[in-house]
Amino acid sequence: MSNNQKRIGKEFQECTQTPPKGCTVKLVDESNLLKWEIIMDGPEGSIYEGGHFKLLLTLPNDYPFKPPVLNFQTKVYHPNITNDEKGSMCLGMLRADEWKPPNKIINVLKMARGLLEAPNPDDAVETSIAEQYKNDRKGFEKTAKDWTKKYASGK
């Protein structure tokens, strides 16, 4: 099923020509439309400000029936992003049971950046970070800022 090539091509064009705020998008490999590399700048005023986060967006072969997968390749201290080498972001709309084919990647990216701006501790994948976020906001912010400086400040 390669009916999706045209749609993916159009979406890619949309994301490169009018990229969502703070995002630059390119293909990991020019010959493969299914793997996108995204550089996402930490939103101004957030604890991730100044960071440049590298994300990998992988589209399944049966996109858009199945959702894309979003991985942070830069380490992030965030309740909704797994603290492992995968850096999977748990975004509501990306869950298999919530995904709808009409959803578009540009909106996925906007939502992902929105989650950097405002973490959602009630839907966390890293429960200890979520706990800290709720009970010790100062400590959370310090670690998050430290990590941003340490892992995401390089260009």
Partner 1 sequence: MSEYDDDRELYYLGNEPDYAASVLASGFRAAPELDFAVGDLDDFNFEPFVTAAPRGQTSRTASLLQSSGLLQVDEFQRLVELKRDESSESGTYSPVGLRSLEYVTTPNENLICAICTSPFIKPVELNCQHIFCEECLYDHLKSGIQSASLCPKCRDPIESLCPTSRLLTQLLDELEVVCPNEPCGCKTLHKRYTIHDHVSSYCDFENVPCPAADCERFIPRRLLNGECLHSQLECDECEDLMMEMELEVRVLPTISYSISLTRQQDHIKNKCPSGLLCCKHCALNLRRGDLAEHHARDCEKIPISCRGRIIGCPITGPRQFVNEHMKTCPIALMAPHIQEQNERQSKLQAETSQIRSQLIDLETKFDELEASFKQLSTSIKRERRQSLATGGTVSASRVEELTGRLDELALDHNSRIDNATSENARMHMNFVNESLRNQQQFHTFNATLTVMRNQLNMLSSLRATGNNANNTTNAANAVNAANSGSSGIGLDSVRREPPKL
List contacts with partner 1 (CB under 8 A).
Answer: 1-7, 9-11, 13, 62, 64-66, 96-97, 100-104, 107
Q: Among candidates 18, 68, 77, which has minimal Cα distance to 46? A: 77
- Shortest distance in whole angstroms from residue 18 CB to partner 1: 11
Nearer of residues 57 and 76 to partner 1, judged by Cβ? 57
Nearer of residues 102 and 154 to partner 1, judged by Cβ? 102
Q: Among candidates 124, 116, 115, which has minimal Cα distance to 52? A: 116
Taken in order 89, 73, 85, 147, is the CA torsion positive or negative?
negative
Residues paired with 47 in a beta bridge: none
Would you please indicate which residues are annotated as catalytic (active-site) residues? 90
- Shortest distance in whole angstroms from residue 32 CB to partner 1: 16
Cα 96 to Cα 32: distance, rounded to the nearest angstrom: 23
Joined tokens for residue 135: 């009970």
Nearer of residues 39 and 111 to partner 1, judged by Cβ? 111
- Shortest distance in whole angstroms from residue 78 CB to partner 1: 24
